[in-house]
Chain A
Amino acid sequence: MKLHLWTYEGPPHVGAMRVATGMKGLHYVLHAPQGDTYADLLFTMIERRGERPPVTYTTFQARDLGGDTAELFKEAAREAVERFQPEALIVGA
């Protein structure tokens, strides 16, 4: 465990988001808790992109952890494919 007071180093999935936003026809499904969508604003606010990053988050909550989060993930992936019709899908957690 290490104390960080200021850190500009993002977590690896933000790097994967950068790859996804840099390509066309790619969609990223991220198994992530509520709040991880903060990363969207790195692209919409800081980079001022006019579109949302091509990322779907599962937004799992405490009550989901007792059950089958795999189902939640599969459902999010199915819905993302249906809605965004990507040529390729990357998944992350």
Chain B
Amino acid sequence: MNASPNLRHNGCDRPVLRERGQREVFCGLTGIIWLHRKIQDAFFLVVGSRTCAHLLQSAAGVMVFAEPRFGTAIIDDRDLAGLADANDELDRVVAELLERRSDIKLLFLVGSCPSEVIKLDLEKAAERLNGTHFPGTRVLAYSGSGIETTFTDGEDTCLKSLVPTMAQDKAGQLLLVGALPDIVEDQFVRLFRALGIERVATLPPRRASDIPCVGEGTRYLLLQPFLTETALALEARGARHIPALFPFGAAGSRAAVEAVADTFGVRRDRVNQVIEGPERRAREAVARQREFLKGRTISFLPDSQLEPPLARFLSEECGMEPIEIGSPYINQKILSAEMERLPASARLSEGQDVDKQLDRVRADRPDLTVCGLGLANPLEAEGLTTKWAIELVFSPIHGFEQAGDLAELFARPLRRAERLSL
């Protein structure tokens, strides 16, 4: 088996406007909000500042649990002045936490801007803490710092930290990679099992005890486009990537299923038989929204790296016209099948200089602007209709059964704006 092509390669096959300046995006810490719900016996301990704690509170403030599964070890003046050894302090905080919370089986030490700047080595700390707390609790470290990660990159660095803990097993298996809502993940697992693929595993696991195996027989499908580093770590363990469209919409879902089927030698007539019902439902549900969405223009401001595959779905299946497709980072290798199918008229941009980008939005005046929460209401006040980009990360949007809902997410703000203007 040939090694997969270098997944980090960012060869530019079509022009991309690259910008540097103020970025109106979250840092990787924000991934904790969906990751802590996905891995049900994990705790995410940010080693950071009051700002990090406030970000998590502001972004996740609607959810107050009696026993939250994330928190912040706030580095204070004593740590910074070198009066207290930050490592000793961290060991103390972790010991106190684990003593009180025996339900925590997996503890992530999450690096932040301050921990990076003071060069607190959290990987070394995790190793040391495993000496004390493993096997009761496994301790891992990853970075969610804004100086290194943008929003969904935080899931990438988290999943990458799990890869070394995966047991080696060279047996054939399909590994689905990316944190999806359980119900959507179950749909994919059922569908692939119906194709006759016996071993289907998922990363991340729902519990620390269910970390999947990996090895030369592993073929993995990326369910999210932002998992660059995780993919590289899996390749290093012998796993091989299944290049495919991302499973958004009927066509994207079919393409992803077909790519897996081809890899596992499943005949096309069996594929057609298994997906006939779901595909028909997806097409019908999308068709209902297409009537309303077709011909409308849309611009994406950079947020989650989901922008290129979503723009492909909206242009191909919903008849929308993307004007600008902005993304924090465009991995043209992972997205190669997507890039070919984006309309030639769409402007691709990577990175951000927010004021210049807003100038372009004002000049383009798209029917719909997909943007972050810091920009949505100000743009609405300027008469532009907006969609909150973060909803695309939190809502179930993958696969056949969600295709109609995905299209509707874009139709809803347009319908509301029309009703308000009547």
Contact = CB atoms under 8 A, between A and B. Distances in A.
Interface in A4-46: 4-11, 13-14, 33-42, 44-46
Contacts of B45: 3
Given A3-B96, A34-B146, A35-B27, A44 B53 contact: no
Nearest to B377: A44
Contacts of A42: 58
A contact patch SS? mixed
B377 A50 contact: yes
Interface stretch (B5-13, B16-24, B160-168, B410-418): B16-24
B375 interface: yes
23 contacts: A1-B76, A2-B76, A5-B71, A6-B64, A7-B57, A7-B72, A8-B57, A9-B50, A10-B50, A34-B27, A34-B150, A36-B51, A37-B25, A37-B374, A38-B59, A41-B58, A41-B374, A44-B375, A45-B376, A46-B58, A48-B377, A57-B22, A83-B355
A4 B53 contact: yes
What range describes how many residues of B lie at the interface? 35 or more
Interface in B304-362: 355
A35 B381 contact: no
B75 interface: yes
A44 B51 contact: no
Contact of B116 (A57, A62, A64): A62
B225 to A, nearest CB: 19
A35 B117 contact: no
Instruction: Give the size category of A's interface with B.
Output: 35 or more
Interface in A55-92: 56-62, 64-65, 76, 79, 83
B233 interface: no
B228 interface: no
Interface of A: 1-11, 13-14, 33-42, 44-46, 48-52, 56-62, 64-65, 76, 79, 83
Given A40-B374, A41-B58, A33 B53 contact: no
Interface stretch (B85-93, B198-206, B253-261): B85-93
Interface string B40-61: 0000010101110111011100
B282 interface: no
Nearest to A8: B57
A45 B93 contact: no
Contacts of A61: 146-148
A62 B380 CA distance: 34
B59 to A, nearest CB: 7
B378 interface: yes
A34 B55 CA distance: 12
Most buried by A among B26, B45, B116: B26
Given A7-B50, A38-B26, A42-B58, A33 B146 contact: yes
Nearest to A49: B377
A13 to B, nearest CB: 8
Contacts of B374: 37-38, 40-41, 44-45, 52
B51 A58 contact: no
Interface in B72-106: 72-76, 79, 84, 86, 89-90, 92-93, 96-97
